[in-house]
Amino acid sequence: MIVPTGTGAAIGGFAGDALPVARALSNVVDCLITHPNVLNAAMLYWPMPNALYVEGYALDRFAEGLWALQPVHQNRVGIVLDAGIEDDLRIRQLQVADAARASLGLPVVEYIVTDTPLQVEKWVDPKTGQSTGRIKHPDSLLRAVQTLVNRSKVNAIAVVGRFPDDDTDDVDDYRQGMGIDVLAGVEAVISHLVVKEFQIPCAHAPAMSPLPLSLSLSPKSAAEEIGYTFLPCVLAGLSKAPRYLTNNSESMEKGCILATDVDSIILPRDACGGDGTLAFSRSKKSKPLIITVDENETVLNDTPDKLGLEALQVSNYWEAIGVIAAHKAGINPFSLRRNKIRNIGCISSMPVNGHLISG
């Protein structure tokens, strides 16, 4: 299940509002592979034993057949805190970590503060309409991760970067359940950097000053405003995130999940241009069923017809889940619809008076 990050998705573009779809899908499929943008809901999360929490860069490498996913019982999670976080905000993050250890039993082992403030910058790409950004000191982040990996033997990383505080006017649309998440794009940039360099699970939680109380808040955005941090869902997700192994004979022996094991993909209809989706569509061994959802509109315009992809178009996630259930049962989904099954065709040829005719 894919909902691209920072694209203003109608479902999945806010504070974990695609999580109900993931919960429903997890009860239909044997294994649900998705990414933090779908499963993270700031202070909220939902444990799904058969769901795999896979960072976006890793998801693309998995789809390309380069990496395999190894399910685990637990990861040793380390936290990187931006040196730019003020004392009170840093204490809030550490209280979340201790609460996750004591109340949930999560294996969050140690934290480190970067040697230089990361200086996060965010903006909206004027060409695509997606949110994006950068950190001015990526080397400081990588040094901190390296230290945790070497000294604390962690195999998953939570990053907490100090994001610039917004004027209320700048986030009003998002708080009302409209527009795009201006934080999400650069969050993906940060996690991509760590996963590409270290090949371990990573997710990001922004540190920000709380916004003033709003009396007209959209339920889709509310999960981000009921606490002081965005870290709880990240720690829960990383604690059991699958590890990323290079796809070779060793990963086969370890019972890893491969791209060829994927039976179907579900994503917004106008967001089919990502590396992962394109890789799955080009698969020659076992091409999965690609299901696109009309109702989940984004700011993108990468539809299957424009990209030459073969996909099954549905109106909403209700229909998509029905298609998934039929596909899993080995049933042609169109046999569940009125007048969608035509008389069987014929492509064989029979000789008549020395000539071939086709039926």
Domain that holds residue 159: 69-245
Count the domains in the chain.
Answer: 1
Measure Cα distances from 326 to 21, 113, 127, 164, 353 in Å: 17, 49, 39, 47, 45
pLDDT at 356: 54
Average pLDDT, the chain: 93
Q: What is the CATH number of the domain that holds 165?
A: 3.40.50
**Average of pLDDT values for 76-105?**
97
In a domain, 15, yes or no: no
pLDDT at 283: 85
Task: List the structure tokens of 7.
Answer: 């694209």
- Band of pLDDT at residue 319, cut at 50, 70 and 90: very high
H/E element, 103: helix 87-103
In a domain, 157, yes or no: yes
pLDDT at 165: 85
In a domain, 270, yes or no: no
**275 has pLDDT over 90:** yes
In a domain, 52, yes or no: no
Name the β-bridge partners of 352: 355
Pick from 216, 205, 188: nearest CA to 40: 205
In a domain, 276, yes or no: no
**Average of pLDDT values for 165-192?**
86
In a domain, 181, yes or no: yes
**Average of pLDDT values for 78-92?**
97
**89 has pLDDT over 50:** yes
In a domain, 174, yes or no: yes
Q: Which residues contact 19 (CB under 8 A, 6 or more apart)?
A: 38, 39, 41, 44, 45, 46
- Band of pLDDT at residue 170, cut at 50, 70 and 90: low
The pLDDT tens digits of the residues spanning 294-317 come to 999 999 999 999 999 999 999 999
What is the value of pTM for the model shown? Answer: 0.92
pLDDT at 359: 47
Q: 131-145, 162-176, 288-302 — which is least confidently predicted?
A: 162-176
- Band of pLDDT at residue 113, cut at 50, 70 and 90: very high
Per 3-state DSSP, the chain is made up of helix, strand and coil in percentages (nearest 5) of: 35, 20, 45
Q: Which residues contact 166 (CB under 8 A, 6 or more apart)?
A: 182, 208, 211
In a domain, 86, yes or no: yes
